[in-house]
């Protein structure tokens, strides 16, 4: 063996082995996801949306406190159900402010915030001219789309928890805490009440997966972030209106918003799971359908800017 050959062999043996391509892609995908999370939650628009959501429980709590301090009907009321029916229980237990605030924000405020984030996911990058640079990286279009959806779902969870934590804080400051009465009339301890509040927050976050997928699909149809956000919010409002028209009762159970308030069944004893499972099933279908449509559109899209 010549000296040149020996040198080549020694250089090959001493050189560090390159990591396999799948490992590189996984590491890059995790880095992209971390970068997307950081970018999303540092935007003033995102912080403003979270601030508005955190302010809703404050307004509801102060309004109930003022009303009941004047001897209003909220004092000592009973009742069950979701939304306004929970308000009567807030003065007895501040934990009910969590359920009331989630019921108040779920029909519009929470999905609107999700629609803004999801609608801007792809269209915003295209409008800013950064989309083609992201696609040059080894993640590819599919991984980029999944990262955008995962970031949107992370925002769903954070936004829901912001409402719940704000409501719990305000409820603890303005009203007593302790055992609470379920919709069925049974009493549960504070610990179990907090556990059910956390479970309700998770169900509410999961209820937004359909909206997130819809917004992501709309975002792949245009290069304008504002147009994508406006279209997503417009579709959300349209579905909400259609869900209130009695003549459309035959198709209303298939709307993604129809079973949103079924989380109230977690405050029953025993828990009613029928509408909860229907809600989660519908969200899974919407996520699968519009997620697949977003993938089909995005992978075939001509990225020129």
The pLDDT score that the predictor gives to residue 220 is: 92
Interval 12-33 mean pLDDT: 56
Burial 107-146 (b: 16+ CB within 10 A, else e): bebbbbbbbbbbbbbbbbbbbeeebeebeeeebebebbbb
More confident residue, 132 or 90: 90
Reported confidence tier of residue 70, pLDDT bands at 50, 70, 90: low
What's the chain's average pLDDT? 83
Q: Note whether residue 5 is domain-resident.
A: no
Please give the Cα distance from 209 to 285 (Å, whole number): 10
Reported confidence tier of residue 136, pLDDT bands at 50, 70, 90: low
Q: Note whether residue 63 is domain-resident.
A: yes
Q: Note whether residue 55 is domain-resident.
A: yes
Structural domain that includes position 117 = 31-300
pLDDT in tens, 242-280: 999 999 999 999 999 999 999 989 988 888 899 999 999
More confident residue, 55 or 136: 55
Q: Is the pLDDT at 77 greater than 50, yes or no?
A: no
Q: Note whether residue 160 is domain-resident.
A: yes
Domain count of the chain? 1
CA angle 271, 273, 275 (to 5 degrees): 125
pLDDT in tens, 163-177: 999 999 999 999 888
């Amino acid at each position: 063996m010549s000296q040149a050959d020996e040198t080549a062999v020694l250089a090959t043996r001493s050189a560090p082995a390159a990591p396999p391509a799948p490992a590189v892609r996984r590491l890059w995908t995790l880095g992209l996801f971390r970068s997307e999370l950081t970018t999303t939650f540092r935007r003033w628009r995102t912080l403003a949306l979270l601030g508005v959501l955190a302010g809703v429980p404050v307004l509801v709590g102060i309004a109930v406190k003022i009303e009941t301090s004047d001897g209003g009907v909220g004092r000592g009321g009973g009742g069950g159900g979701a939304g306004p029916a929970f308000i009567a229980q807030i003065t007895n237990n501040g934990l009910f402010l969590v359920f009331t605030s989630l019921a108040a924000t779920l029909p519009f405020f929470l999905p609107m915030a999700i629609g803004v984030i999801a609608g801007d996911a792809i269209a915003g990058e295209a409008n800013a001219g950064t989309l083609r640079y992201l696609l040059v990286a080894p993640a590819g279009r599919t991984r980029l789309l999944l990262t955008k959806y995962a970031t949107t779902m992370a925002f769903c969870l954070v936004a829901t928890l912001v409402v719940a934590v704000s409501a719990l804080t305000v409820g603890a400051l303005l009203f007593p805490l302790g055992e609470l009465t379920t919709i069925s009339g049974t009493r549960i301890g504070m610990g179990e009440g907090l556990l059910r509040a956390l479970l309700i927050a998770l169900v509410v976050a999961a209820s937004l997966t359909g909206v997130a997928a819809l917004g992501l699909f709309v975002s792949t149809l245009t290069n304008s972030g504002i147009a994508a956000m406006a279209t997503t919010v417009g579709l959300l409002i349209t579905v909400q209106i259609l869900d209130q028209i009695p003549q459309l009762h035959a198709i209303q159970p298939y709307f993604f918003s129809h079973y949103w308030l079924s989380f109230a069944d977690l405050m029953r004893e025993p828990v009613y799971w029928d509408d909860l499972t229907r809600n989660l099933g519908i969200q899974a279908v919407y996520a699968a359908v519009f997620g697949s449509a977003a993938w089909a559109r995005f992978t075939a899209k001509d990225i020129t800017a």
